[in-house]
Structure 1
């Protein structure tokens, strides 16, 4: 059994490398028409360059998983701004995609919590489709729309979870089929448990990204050992191994908040369970210290009996 590790968006070990530099709409409004275009191009170019830096950093550390920032393009989905962020940067997008394909990296996006399909408000669903389309367009520009995945949560319950779930299935029909094909769903730490999210995934034919920390904060009735085979099965038609999100609590009092690093003892029961199944799997580390947390966890686990570090970002479990 092998476990590959990755991290979210920003390698904090690199100097001034954020791939999510911003331009607010307030600032945008203060600029002249010419200044607006110049600033949009400037910030996007910087974010694309930093994204490429991140990928080379990952390759040098043998980290094969990476979540792109959703904020590469400033104001991309703002109704008063929406602009062509593809044409001016065709070579940059293609260079990123070419590297991903050549090195067979596993990449994804994770839109924010407002991208949801459970709302009773039509405009919320419409905005969710716009945001999912934006992420898909970035994959298309890179030429990896068949390989990248876009992960979201189910959304809110709005006082009636069953009604909200019914709306989710109905509203999801407004999402273009090619985008739905690269979509994944994740359980959350307050509302939809792993068991509930899994049922939605099974009904819609969507791979399930299991979040262990969220699961521990929002337990379901079914034991995890019963859910795991079904979770793995949702990935049977996907081009990738099952993926899980890994983090640990900041403290007992702030249990839902992510710590800077991952406490190996917190994830030990989950690792023990995975070992029994022997399923190769990918870990996306969601700790605050990003790349440093991923590499530290690999280092720590590599010292455990039966766990062997076989590359910068991969552990073999025997």
Structure 2
């Protein structure tokens, strides 16, 4: 079908552009990069039949070579519709598939790298949202669990809430200082940095 040919073309182009971007960064002494979640378009969609894991394996390996050979730190951050602690079963299911895509992409590159998400929804109260996160964390594939990090947000889940998640799941915490400036309990940045470093 035409749509799958187009997706193959886009995925190929995205990976080639990613490789060139990383090479440019190295030439300009930039060794940290967030890889776009859209690198493989619609990768986690239930109707996706394009076997990107096999067909893109060679290009993914080439990108991974650039990352490893130059010690580039990479991360990924799924979009706002990835809500692991949603009250809706279909959202949880699609979120798990999206996280699986991110982890598989990094695995196929053969690189280290984190997949960072927010704790998510606060429907039913923050405590209930935290409990749902814990429950659904147990449903994740091991390669997702090993890469997942929790990031504080600007409205609901503070650094201390992410630290609670870490204490119960082992999920490291990544600190967003701008979010912390908007959503905190009066802790100074230096104080929370010390706690986050432990994770």
TM-score normalised by length of structure 1: 0.60
Residue 194 of structure 1 and its aligned partner are, at CA, apart by: 1.5
> Which of the numbers 162, 171, 175 marks the counterpart of 1:210?
175
Match of 1:78 in 2: 45
Distance 1:81 1:196 in 2: 35
Give the aligned length: 199
TM-score normalised by length of structure 2: 0.94
Is contact 1:183–1:206 with CA below 8 Å preserved after alignment?
A: yes
Match of 2:138 in 1: 173
> Which of the numbers 179, 196, 199 marks the counterpart of 1:231?
196
Give unpaired runs (5+ residues) of structure 2: none
**1:51 aligns to 2:15 (yes or no):** no
Question: Hey, which of these two has a bigger chunk of strand by percent?
Answer: 1
Q: CA RMSD in A?
A: 1.4
- Is the radius of gyration larger for structure 1 or structure 2? 1
Is contact 2:11–2:41 with CA below 8 Å preserved after alignment?
A: yes
Residue 99 of structure 1 and its aligned partner are, at CA, apart by: 1.1
**1:102 aligns to 2:69 (yes or no):** yes
Deviation by residue 1:25-52 (Cα, 9 ceiling, x = unmatched)? xxxxxxxx2x122211111111011101
Higher relative contact order, structure no. (Cα contacts within 8 Å, ≥ 6 residues apart): 1
Residue 228 of structure 1 and its aligned partner are, at CA, apart by: 2.1
> Which of the numbers 69, 72, 82 marks the counterpart of 2:36?
69
Residue 227 of structure 1 and its aligned partner are, at CA, apart by: 2.3
Residue 221 of structure 1 and its aligned partner are, at CA, apart by: 4.2
Distance 1:222 1:216 in 2: 9
Distance 1:196 1:205 in 2: 13
> Which of the numbers 29, 36, 56 marks the counterpart of 2:3?
36
Give unpaired runs (5+ residues) of structure 1: 1-32, 235-318
Deviation by residue 1:132-188 (Cα, 9 ceiling, x = unmatched)? 1101111122122xx111111100101411111111101110001221111111000
Secondary structure of 2:65's aligned partner: helix
Distance 2:149 2:128 in 1: 21
